[in-house]
Amino acid sequence: MTDTLSTISEIAIYVVMGLYVVATALFALDLAKRSAEGSATTTVRSAVERRAEAGAAVATGGGSANAATATLVRPTESARAGSAGIPGSSRMLRAAMTVTTVAWVIHLLSDVTRGIAAHRVPWANMWEFSLTGTLVIVGLFLAANLRWDIRWIGTFILGLVCVLLMVAQVRYYVPVVPLPPALQSYWLVIHIMVAIFGTGFFALGFALAAAQLGQSWRERRQELSLPPVLPFLKSLPDALTLENLSYRVNIIGFICWTFTLIAGAIWAEKAWGRYWGWDTKEVWTFIIWVIYAGYIHARATRGWRGRPSAWLAIAGFVAVMFNFGIVNVFFHGLHSYSGLTN
Chain residues in the site for another protein (CB under 8 A): 61, 65-66, 68-72, 174-182, 184-185, 187, 244, 247-248, 251, 254-255, 258-259, 262, 265-267, 269-280, 283-284, 286-287, 290-291, 293-294, 297-305, 312, 327, 331-334
Q: What is the DSSP string of 198-255?
A: HHHHHHHHHHHHHHHHHHHHHHHHHHTTPPP--GGGGGSPPHHHHHHHHHHHHHHHHH
Closest approach of another protein to the CB of residue 193, in Å? 16
Q: Give 140's contacts (C-beta < 8 A, 6+ positions apart).
A: 197, 200, 201, 203, 204
Closest approach of another protein to the CB of residue 220, in Å? 20
Q: Give 285's contacts (C-beta < 8 A, 6+ positions apart).
A: 257, 260, 261, 264, 323
* Minimum CB distance to another protein smaller for 224 or for 300: 300
Closest approach of another protein to the CB of residue 299, in Å? 7
Closest approach of another protein to the CB of residue 113, in Å? 17
DSSP 340: -
Closest approach of another protein to the CB of residue 269, in Å? 7
Closest approach of another protein to the CB of residue 77, in Å? 17
CB 208 within 8 A of CB 249: yes
Q: What is the DSSP string of 263-299?
A: HHHHHHHHHHS-S----HHHHHHHHHHHHHHHHHHHH
> How many CB atoms are closer than 10 A to CB 72?
13
* Minimum CB distance to another protein smaller for 228 or for 277: 277
**H helical segments located in 41-90:** 47-59, 77-85
Q: What is d(CA 75, CA 128) in angstroms, rounded to the nearest whole number?
A: 43
* Minimum CB distance to another protein smaller for 160 or for 312: 312
* Minimum CB distance to another protein smaller for 78 or for 258: 258
* Minimum CB distance to another protein smaller for 75 or for 228: 75
Q: What is d(CA 67, CA 184) in angstroms, rounded to the nearest whole number?
A: 51
* Minimum CB distance to another protein smaller for 104 or for 123: 123
Q: Give 201's contacts (C-beta < 8 A, 6+ positions apart).
A: 140, 249, 250, 252, 253, 256
Q: What is d(CA 236, CA 85) in angstroms, rounded to the nearest whole number?
A: 11
* Minimum CB distance to another protein smaller for 222 or for 309: 309
CB 264 within 8 A of CB 191: yes
Closest approach of another protein to the CB of residue 160, in Å? 23
Closest approach of another protein to the CB of residue 31, in Å? 26
Q: What is d(CA 48, CA 50) in angstroms, rounded to the nearest whole number?
A: 5
* Minimum CB distance to another protein smaller for 54 or for 287: 287
